Amino acid sequence: MVKFIAEYQVLIFALVKILIMLGFFLNLAPVLVFVERRQAALIQDRVGPNRAVVKVPGFLLKGALATPALLAGVAVAALCFKFFPANPPETGVGRGFWMAELATLVLWSHALVLAGYVRVSGDAANPLEAALRDMRDPRWIFYTGGFLHLALGVLYGASSPANEAEVSKAFALGGPAALAGVLLLVAAYLGYRIPSGTVELRAAGLLHSIADALKFAFKEDFVPPKADKLLHSLGPLISLFPALVTYAIIPFGDALCFGTTNGALDVTKLAETASTVGACAEGQQAVSLQIADLNIGVLYLFAMGGTGIIGAALAGWSSDNKWSLLGGLRAASQMVSYEVAMGLSLVGAFMVYGTPRLGEMVRWQAENTWGIFVQPLAFFLFFAAAIAEQKRTPFDAPEGESEIIAGYFVEYSSFKFAMFYTGEYIELVTSSALLVTIFLGGWTMPFLHRDAVHVAFGDTVLLHSQMSHLVATLLGVGIFFGKVLSMSFFQIFLRWTLPRFRYDQIMAFGWKFMLPAVIANIVLTGLLVLGASSAGPSVASGLRLAADATGFIVIGASAFLAVKFARLLLSPVERARFTSSGVAARVGRVGRTPETPMQA
Amino acid sequence: MGNGIIGKPIPRPSRDAKVQAYLPSVVAGIGVTVKHFFKNTKELAFGQRNDPVLEAFDDGVTTISYPEQKRPYPERFRGVHRLTLREDGNPRCVACLCCSTACPAQCIHIVAGEYADADKKGWEKYPVSFVIDELRCIFCGYCVEACPCDAIRMDTGQHAVPYDSRDQFIYERETLMSFSDPSGRQLTENPKDDPARGHTPDRLKH
């Protein structure tokens, strides 16, 4: 087995990476369909899709929800006390501190969820739940949690040399124990609280996407009688193709460094700490978390993305339908127009980063600052062009439901329609991933370095905490996928906010505004890059300070949004009752609009 | 004649620099949608959403999730018929055929019979079969008006549920007797017209 892995490890790594990316992108497509419907409903004050229901036996649900917590608890306990024990305690104090913070977070967030549940449903199963239900203001759970976080931080930071040994020991042993204990407690409580009978699982409407996918698979595949059979079938294939191949060049994490045996990469020798210069230290080999690290980089993306036009145009032409022909024409002209602006908008980024490779672009951003701060104009131009390329609102004239029904895919049914549909959402994810990689720092966050959390402004170090190579890399992967999710979420918000441009407005915007703007951006960037590279060291150190400041801006903005979100979640609701009609008076007498079980 | 249509005056949107620049308005619009989304999501998730009837005019989701949630009918709503019962569980109906005569849709069919035992006042009739075709019924309420004994009422507060086949809409005597008013009463509040008590209804007295 080990020999087999050693022999084919390049292939195995490639397959694993393809599986990760394919899993992420393909699963995100139905999730985004769900998100889009949910947003549409809730923005318009509707309930939205919530009818699809699966009846699950309680024990299955118990297993599905409690097992991960159980496994995580056991894993924490096993890893910290059996395999990587903190001996002497000084080595594990940082780890213990973060685990204690995590345990606190899990504890108060679960308490808050439980309090919310019992306060809504009203049925408390034990005195604890009754206390949660009857407490005056559940916001105190949140405040207490925040206080505990702070108290732990103060305890950790203020350990004097006199009591340092005790504090180290307490954190090194107490942290993992607390985290494992809390996770096991959560698992046990889930097992205890989820009802044993049949549970109706609605997953907030997520099942509708799955039902739709199933429905597509079983629908009749109708081809118009006078359509070109071959081209009609090729259309969705060519349309889906670029969406599925472009993610091959998107790096989803930092390179993993492995030691070598006899000059060959050895998977059992994962590096303890990462080198801060270059990809890996001497004598180590890197496995980049990117399916294909092409030297033409982002140009491959434009080459592949360009083929999408053919799919839409073919579909529109071959369907033998005037609406679809109009849609196909619109799609072709729009995508060709915006392809130009999209390509040129990245030239400035090439100049600043000095490379077309996406991985190296992210490394530049990790060392300096996010791309959006050095190329703000290019960010917006690329964003607009990317939306136009995906044919999404406000650039959705090729589909234009109110004018030409569904545009180029009006004559498609069954799974061919699903391919267009899925392709659109995968393109959405791809463009989000590209925006994140080129402009929003990819897998990096400010102050999160390859070896440590290192908060500094100029030469003043504010916080420094070491991390192991594996933790840092996994954190990076999580950050990348999280950023892509948020970006996709934001793009869907755009769809529900902006009305559609008229066709001539789209063309005018593309050729008369976007193109001059991207060319101006290139000239401006060229001048600035030349100026910055020929200026003295004082300018260089000033730029470095500015780069550090952008890190604080990002963290500050994130913290601001997080606090705002928490305030929204915890804000109480006060409403005016309107009981002038007879029906409302009847309802008011009962207390609320009655709920009845479904009939017939 | 010819006042024209008087509508609500709506101010034209201003075309100042902020609107014409597009991007500031886009940001403001995204702010509106994001706020709506998160507020409504939070209220749905935390069970704080509006009561669709009592708080129908407030901001937020006011959808009635039919059929789990139902807007109650007004108190005088004419729903599915029920046959009211006497205290001994027999129908109050004396099979006088007033209702079936009054029925404009001719959806009531009654076969009359006589109580055999003397305790039940041998002269009194009762419906051997009492059938209402709920598909033909136009829910006019004439049968209720016509009944001298308050034996048929339409105060169940329910409408006929959609069924799979037509014969399920034919409500037999036992079905009609099984219904109750919204508070669960199968008798009627009106004791004086109870034929079993030996009263002669006032309007039949000469």
Measured CA angle at B24 (ends B18, B28), to 5 deg: 120
Mutate to test the interface with B, among A42, A44, A495 (most CBs of B within 10 A): A42
Residue where the block lists tokens 């294939």: A237
Q: Please report which confidence band the pLDDT of residue A451 belongs to, taking 50, 70 and 90 as the band edges.
A: confident
Give B162's contacts in chain A (Cβ within 8 Å). 600
**A123 CB-near residues (< 8 Å, 6+ apart):** none
Give mean pLDDT, residues B114-143.
Answer: 81
| CB nearest to A582's CB, from B50, B59, B74 | B74
Read off the tokens for A4: 């087999």
Residue where the block lists tokens 């393109």: A427
Whether residue A502 is predicted with pLDDT greater than 50 in this model: the reply is yes
Task: Count Cα neighbours of B154 within 13 Å in the Cβ-side half-sphere.
Answer: 23
Contact yes or no for B36 and A596 at CB 8 A: no
> What pLDDT score does B57 carry?
76
Amino acid identity, residue B56?
A
Contact yes or no for A47 and B44 at CB 8 A: yes
What is the edge-to-edge ordering of all strands in the sheet holding B125-133?
B108-114, B125-133, B170-171
Q: What is the ipTM of this complex?
A: 0.77
Q: Please report which confidence band the pLDDT of residue A600 belongs to, taking 50, 70 and 90 as the band edges.
A: very low
pLDDT for A15-63, tens place per residue?
Answer: 888 898 888 888 888 888 888 888 888 888 888 887 778 888 888 888 8
Whether residue B203 is predicted with pLDDT greater than 70 in this model: the reply is no
Give mean pLDDT, residues A200-224.
Answer: 84
pLDDT for A130-188, tens place per residue?
Answer: 888 888 777 788 888 888 888 888 887 776 666 677 777 777 778 888 888 888 888 88
> What pLDDT score does A2 carry?
63
Give mean pLDDT, residues A565-577.
Answer: 78
Percent of all residues in chain A with a pLDDT value above 70, rounded to a whole number: 93
Task: For residue B131, give the 3-state DSSP assignment.
Answer: strand
- Report the chain A residue with the minimal C-alpha distance to residue B25: A498
Read off the tokens for A355: 């490379």
Give A46's contacts in chain B (Cβ within 8 Å). 61, 63
CA distance A183 to A102: 10
Whether residue A598 is predicted with pLDDT greater than 70 in this model: the reply is no
CA distance A521 to A384: 15
Percent of all residues in chain A with a pLDDT value above 90, rounded to a whole number: 8
Give mean pLDDT, residues A276-289.
Answer: 72
Higher pLDDT, A87 or A510: A510
> What pLDDT score does B103 carry?
94
Read off the tokens for B45: 């998730």
CA nearest to A495, candidates B156, B15, B182, B34: B34
Higher pLDDT, B185 or B120: B185
> What pLDDT score does A159 carry?
67
> What pLDDT score does B191 carry?
66
pLDDT for A314-351, tens place per residue?
Answer: 888 888 888 899 999 999 999 889 988 998 998 988 88
110-139 in chain A: CB under 8 A from chain B? 116, 119-121
CA dihedral A412, A414, A416, A418 (to 10 degrees): 110
Higher pLDDT, A203 or B165: B165
Amino acid identity, residue A148?
L
> What pLDDT score does A595 carry?
74
A597 touches chain B (CB under 8 A): yes
| CB nearest to B60's CB, from A45, A120, A592 | A45
- Biggest CA pair distance of chain B: 96
pLDDT for B171-198, tens place per residue?
Answer: 999 999 998 887 888 887 776 666 555 5
Whether residue B1 is predicted with pLDDT greater than 50 in this model: the reply is no
> What pLDDT score does B107 carry?
93
- Mean residue pLDDT of chain A comes to 83
pLDDT for A224-276, tens place per residue?
Answer: 888 888 888 888 888 888 888 888 888 888 887 777 777 677 766 777 776 66
| Closest CA–CA distance from residue B117 to any residue of chain A (Å) | 41
Whether residue A213 is predicted with pLDDT greater than 70 in this model: the reply is yes
CA distance A24 to A26: 6
CA distance B131 to B98: 14
Give mean pLDDT, residues A114-127.
Answer: 81
CA nearest to A149, candidates A213, A113, A101, A181: A101
- Mean residue pLDDT of chain B comes to 81
Q: Please report which confidence band the pLDDT of residue A379 belongs to, taking 50, 70 and 90 as the band edges.
A: very high
Whether residue A382 is predicted with pLDDT greater than 90 in this model: the reply is yes
CA distance B158 to B166: 19
Mutate to test the interface with A, among B19, B27, B35, B40 (most CBs of A within 10 A): B40
Whether residue B50 is predicted with pLDDT greater than 50 in this model: the reply is yes
Strands A452-457 and B108-114: unpaired
H/E element, A426: helix A414-439
